[in-house]
Structure 1
Amino acid sequence: MKRMISTLLCFTLLLGTTGCSNAQGAESDSKEYANALFDDSYVHTIDIQIDEDSWADLLENPTEKTKYKSTVVIDGNTVENVSFATKGNSSLSQVADSESNRYSFKLNFGKFVEGQTYVGLDKLNLQNICSDATYMKDYLAYEIMKECGVASPLTSYVSLSINGEVYGLYLALEDISDSFLERTYGVDYGELYKPETEMLGNMGQHGKKNMELPQVMEKPDGMERPENAQAPAPTNGEKTDMPKGAGQRPEGGMGMGGTAKGADLVYTDDEISSYSDIFDNAETDATDEDKARLIASLKQLSTGENLEKCVDVDAVVRYFVAHNFVLNGDSYTGSMLHNYWLYEDDGILSMLPWDYNLAFGGFQMKGSNDATSIVNTAIDTPLYEQNLGKRPMWDKVMAKEENIQLYHDYFNTLIADYFESGKFENTINRVSTMIRPYVESDPTAWYTVEEFDTAVDTITKFCLLRAQSIRTQLDGSLASTTAEQKTEDMIDAGSIDISAMGSQGKGRGNDDKRNPEEGKATTDKTKK
């Protein structure tokens, strides 16, 4: 149900004082937190002051996600009675089963004090930057999203302390909830969902710490890239069907995400129960009327006609430009059917980005760690699932020639304005220089500073080569579909080791090649 936020008595911290705010004031505060905590020109400080018994219980039962009361000090400003908890699903279980206690955390400023915020921010995620030796995958992915004009969460770096003891360098990430929605869409915003297949939604729940998660996925038979394969030439100026290429799953398969009940955005019928992946993961208070409206939008999407009645086409195209640049297989375009938000407003759907720590080739199928193949991933056939109709937000939108052209136009702008202009290199040099001292002294780091240096160099080369490949795909020197690509036309990325940027399940506490005594400090599970 769309809502107008009413005037509420709320507790808002500003320069160490508290006060009241109405809807207009909350909007002002939202802008304030964007310029305060999310000023990414320096590393912020956050100290979590939590009762020792509560902290010990959190470390003993991390997958329970218990909400503990804490006092939080952000850049010297104190907020009391803040909810503090672990966060994540499979990533939470991964840390719980490792030698580390470097969890990701969530702060909810209004959980125990209704209406309380931090200068307008209601919830904050503290990302542990696992599987990311660059410390920048999430940060850069959201920067690229913003460069493409995609509504994205704000980020900054923080030096996190627990009870005054430095815990590590974390990424502060704006939660996709009320304050984000108001900042992005105004007070009269729509409905928000985080589609998640049932199996993934249950990972890390109820203390099931011993769930065995795949580190890499076996490649189905017939998945090798065809050598010099050619697709039929278009006739009469019409666009041919997108070819089935690398990453195809067996017919009807739903991948590691389990059987989809809406997370693929496929229309099945008009029953609300058929879309539990969506509606069981509603962020806003959706009514049955809201749910029926979303189902009607999926039904319209399934026809591929009059898409402007059900999809914000421009927003979706921009999303896929950024998303398909950074290559995140742990997503809607990959095999896992999660890690995106679905926004609906008056029957119009769009997608919002989430969770990119395994982007830039970090989530690859076994046997697919060839950097040249990854860098040259075809922009017009990006799906792991190539059965038409199985990912309608891509298939139906991009079946229209004018949308593919818009997609290419936005890609051209991204490559020219962000990569070829030098802006990307300036950004990565600035950020890596800023955070390197914190990486070097990080007591709970997943990676050494030497690995960080190598990873930064690697992701810089990767992105520049990816941009170069996309430029050749746009100008026709390299085909933009998998089946048409020829090996000899590809940009050579053979000098890059994708795993140097970090990959699933790798890092201190998870890699048996590491010295088990390194970097334990405050994370050693024997020191609670």
Structure 2
Amino acid sequence: MIKNRIVYTSMAILLLLFGVMVAVLPNLGIETKNTEYSYETLVFNKSKVTTVDIEIPQEDWEDMLENAADEELKQANITINGKTIENVAIRTKGNLTLRSVVNSDSDRYSLKVDFDYYDDTQSLYGLKKLNLNNNYSDSTLMREYISYELMEKMGLPTPAHSYMYVTVNGEERGLYLGVEAVDETFLANNYGSNDGFLFKPDGVGSDLKYISDDIADYTGIGLKTNEDNIEDSKLTDMLDAINNGGDIEQYIDVDEMLRYFAVNTALVNLDSYQGNMKHNYYLYENNGVFSIIPWDYNMSFGGFNVGGGGMGGGNPNQMRGNTNKELPEGETDENADIPAVTQSQVGQANGEQAQGGQLNGEQPQGGQPNGEQPQEGQLNGEQAQEGQPNANRDKGGFNMLNGMSGDLMADSAINFSVSTPVSGTTLEERPLLNALLSNETYRAKYEGYLEQLATNYLTEDYIQSITNNLAMLLTSYQEADPTKFTTTEQFLEGVSGDNSLPEFAKQRSASILKQLSGELVVETSATAQGNMAMPNGDTNNEANGNQMQMPDDFDPSQLPEDFDPSQLPADFDPSQMPEGGMGNEQGGKANGGPMQRPDGMGFPNQGNGQATQETGIDKSTVLTATATFSFLVAALLFVFRFNRRGR
């Protein structure tokens, strides 16, 4: 009996120790995940809202808000889910979105956190850089998140992403979408190597037209990695192949790019290579073969100048903001949001300009930082009525609410062409896409991926399941958000109903299937695809014969400060525009200091406001623990049966 008691006692102690190891140790902050890229689950946990607490000298924070357009780096400490990383760099980020917030009554800026700026050995579970996107222009707060989810479903390398609630020096800043930066860490994690060449096209050459065999001529295809070995890149060979009929399979991952363009087309994401701005994507060359990496989807679901949506119109001098800013060494501008000078596809065959406000009119007060209604504009993105040039504009020349809800169900978005999936340009002007769709075999694959999306992922039921889950997760945070751009009611409109993302998915997927079967034919023309008008421009400009024809390499930063499009002659040639920056002063100052939380509005689900530590147990740990537990149980059963036989 003594021996039996000793055995039982020993087994009980082992079980107790096992329970302590599994249940207690991870919550004490001991990292049990033995992998270089554990940030994918420890930082970007999609089942919860991650807590991000920033500590920064108050004078530095106020200076950052007061001079947000400078994007100056500040030193700070950051705590994410209870884990503190000291001595990190933080700055405001963006381009059009940044400029628009600067010129509004809000100080809700997107932020970039650089964990290894001061110490290149430092990271957060392997993560080197984190973007905190402010969900500008998206009242649903879900467009970018869902877009990345669909990219993942289609097997594309996609930045890690999840929602985060941000505080600065103890004051709440609100609900953001955290997105992994596309950098060396991302490349190594997704491609197994970061020794290749990462390009961020945005400017001359970003349409991927062949210019010459001198890579220096492609000034808009920025190289972000491996700069010292640029002569080894096959970029010009790839461009020659897609433009001049070479073997494109030698240079590009055809299947991956077909999946990418299928998702982009299905989501009507036109602030991209498929739009006239030809940006918001990365190219990664690994062993001479190019892959495409998705980026920046807050304007998907037809949010970019389709059917009256998009970023709205504004003073051309506000287009790029501080385009001549100097970023710190090693920094890139991932959020170069430039408003399209483009035309809606369906119903615009005669080159008529989009409806909306005037180019040079006065601006309204815009959205208030706490989600209050503007003085004159409409909350749901309704445009100013004809003849009211001063309505629905913020003081910086940009309507903050225009495009935030917009006409999500516009026919031009729902029935966006799948056979000629470009906006404000032609297929011939987008040689990568044209090379793929000109090949019958590739086009059949592309259409097959579109059908897969329309029947499996971009469906009412699938998107509804995502929006329902996100509504349950985010609503309390959105309600408490002191700097939000829009109301909780607008946020919930995107979850379900006649003007929701699931309804968009229902109608868009039906349109895709009808177009693929030939039941629906979407008419396109060179005029409709090629002519470009200022977004939400003055429809009366047509009478003056001043429809602006912009070249494909149009750079809004070159517009002079006193530029007035209404004075342009009918034979105006934009390629002759004078060089030089905009020289535009800030139209307004952001409020200094962090926002105060509303009275009686507690920190959602956080109790005393302390960050909760994320449990980090990976699959191998779970398997090991399960095997160990099973062994212990089996040992107990064996001892029990042996004891009974002994009796």
- Offset at 1:69? 1.0
2:62 corresponds in structure 1 to 56
State the shift of 1:455 in Å. 2.9
Which of 268, 288, 301 is 1:360 aligned to?
A: 301
Is 1:311 the counterpart of 2:311 in the alignment?
no
Aligned counterpart, 2:161: 155
CA distance in 1, matches of 2:592, 2:521: 48
Q: Does 1:94 align with 2:100?
A: yes
Match of 1:459 in 2: 501
Q: Deviations over 1:151-199 (max 9, x none)?
A: 11111001100011111000000110111111101135421111112xx
Q: 1: distance between equivalents of 2:114 and 2:592?
A: 28
Q: CA 1:288 to 1:299, structure 2 compared with 1: closer, same or farther past 3 Å?
A: farther
Q: Which residue of structure 2 aligns with residue 210 of structure 1?
A: none
What is the deviation of 1:36?
A: 1.3
For residues 297 and 85 of structure 1, what CA distance do their matches in structure 2 show?
36
- The offset of 1:482, in angstroms, is 3.5
Query: 1:155–1:172: 8 Å Cα contact kept in structure 2?
Result: yes
Which residue in 2 is equivalent to 1:33? 39
Deviation at 1:474, TM superposition (A): 2.0
Against the structure 1 CA distance between its residues 167 and 399, is the aligned structure 2 distance closer, same or farther, given a 3 Å change threshold?
same
1:285-334 CA-to-partner distances (Å, cap 9, x unmatched) read: 22354465211111111123311011110011010011111112221111
Q: In the alignment, which residue of structure 1 is the partner of 2:271?
A: 330
Shift in CA distance, 335/301, structure 1 to aligned 2, threshold 3 Å: same
Query: Which of 144, 156, 167 pairs up with 1:138?
Result: 144
- CA–CA distance in structure 2, aligned partners of residues 454 and 55 of structure 1: 34
Measured on the aligned residues, the alpha-carbon RMSD in Å equals: 2.5
The structural deviation recorded for 1:478 is 1.3
2:261 aligned with 1:320, yes or no? Answer: yes
User: Quick one: distance in 1 between partners of 2:439 and 2:522?
Assistant: 16
How far apart, in 2, do the equivalents of 1:185 and 1:16 lie? 33
Q: CA deviation at 1:111?
A: 0.4
What are the equivalent positions in structure 2 for 1:420-459 lying under 5 Å apart? Answer: 420=459, 422-457=461-496, 458-459=500-501
Does 1:400 find its partner at 2:400? Answer: no
* Residue 561 of structure 2: aligned partner: none
Q: Distance in 2 between matches of 1:65 and 1:324?
A: 33
In the alignment, the residues of structure 2 paired with residue 71 and residue 373 of structure 1 have an alpha-carbon distance, to the nearest angstrom, of: 46
TM (norm. structure 1) is 0.72
User: Which amino acid letter does the alignment assign opposite residue 477 of structure 2?
Assistant: Y
Residue of structure 1 in register with 2:218 after alignment: 275
Amino acid at match of 1:334: G
The Cα offsets for residues 86-145 of structure 1, whole Å up to 9 and x where unpaired, read as 111121111111111100000111001121110011100000000010000110111111
CA contact (8 A) 1:148 1:321 kept: no
The verdict on how the C-alpha distance between 1:149 and 1:421 changes in structure 2, with shifts beyond 3 A counting, is farther
Map 1:185-264; keep pairs closer than 5 Å: 185-197=191-203, 261-264=204-207
- Could you say if the C-alpha distance between residues 520 and 144 of structure 1 is closer, same or farther in structure 2, counting changes exceeding 3 Å? farther
Counterpart of 1:473 in structure 2 is 515
Task: Sort the Cα spacing of 1:79 and 1:270 in 2 relative to 1 into closer, same or farther, 3 A.
Answer: same
- 2:99 alignment partner AA: S
Q: Which residue number corresponds to residue 71 of structure 1?
A: 77
- Say whether the 8 Å CA contact 1:264–1:337 is kept in structure 2: yes
Give the Cα–Cα distance (whole angstroms) in 1 for the partners of residues 147 and 415 of structure 2. Answer: 18
Structure 1 residues 419 and 270, CA gap change in structure 2 (3 angstroms) = closer
1:433 and 1:175 map into 2 onto residues whose CA distance is 27
1:380 is aligned, of 411, 419, 428, to 419
Letter in 2 for 1:345: N
Contact 1:444 1:520 in 2 (8 A): no
Structure 1 residues 160 and 400, CA, compared in 2 at 3 Å: closer, same or farther? same
Alignment of 1:94-113 (within 5 A): 94-113=100-119
8 Å contact from structure 1 (residues 321, 410) kept in 2: yes
Classify the secondary structure of the residue corresponding to 2:45.
coil
Residues 100 and 444, structure 1, Cα contact 8 Å, conserved in 2: yes
Residue aligned with 1:66, SS: coil
| Aligned mates of 1:96, 1:404 — CA distance in 2 | 44
The answer to whether the 8 Å contact 2:108/2:483 transfers is yes
Mapped partners of 1:18, 1:68: distance in 2: 30
* Distance (Å, rounded) in 2 between the aligned partners of 1:482 and 1:388: 11
Q: Which AA in structure 2 matches 1:469?
A: S
Between stretches 458-467 and 125-134, larger displacement belongs to 458-467
1:173 aligns with 2:179: yes
For 2:238, which of 274, 287, 297 is the aligned residue? 297
Distance 2:114 2:194 in 1: 22
Match of 1:510 in 2: none
Shift of 1:456: 2.8
Partner SS, residue 389 of structure 1: helix
SS state at 2:494 partner: helix
Whose radius of gyration is greater, 1 or 2?
Answer: 2
Contact between 1:301 and 1:311, CA under 8 Å: does it hold in 2? no
Counterparts of 2:592 and 2:304, CA distance in 1: 26
Query: Matches of 1:290 and 1:98 in 2, distance apart?
Result: 45
CA distance in 2: counterparts of 1:363 and 1:480, whole angstroms: 19
Whether the 8 Å CA contact 2:61–2:593 is kept in 1: the answer is: no
Write the deviation string for residues 214-248 of structure 1: whole angstroms up to 9, x where unpaired: xxxxxxxxxxxxxxxxxxxxxxxxxxxxxxxxxxx
Q: TM-score, normalised by structure 2?
A: 0.60
**SS in structure 1 of the partner of residue 150 of structure 2:** helix
Other-structure match for 1:350: 291
Q: Please report how far the alpha carbon of residue 480 of structure 1 lies from its aligned counterpart in structure 2 after TM superposition.
A: 6.0
Alignment CA distance shift 1:51-1:328 (3 Å): same
Question: Which moves more between the two structures, 402-411 or 340-349?
Answer: 340-349
Distance in 1 (alpha carbons) for counterparts of 2:145 and 2:231: 33
Q: C-alpha distance in 1, partners of 2:424/2:214?
A: 25
CA distance change for structure 1 residues 67 and 283 in 2, over 3 Å: closer, same or farther?
same
Q: Distance in 2 between matches of 1:118 and 1:421?
A: 37
CA distance 1:85–1:151, shift in 2 (3 Å): same
Give the 3-state SS of the residue equivalent to 2:277 in structure 1: coil
Asked if the contact 1:72/1:82 (under 8 Å) is kept, the reply is yes
The change in CA–CA distance for 1:290 and 1:41 in structure 2 (over 3 A counts) is farther
The separation in 2 between residues aligned to 1:134 and 1:62, in whole angstroms, is 25
- Please list the CA deviations of residues 23-52 of structure 1 after superposition, one character each: whole Å capped at 9, or x if unmatched: x97xx221x111111120111100000011
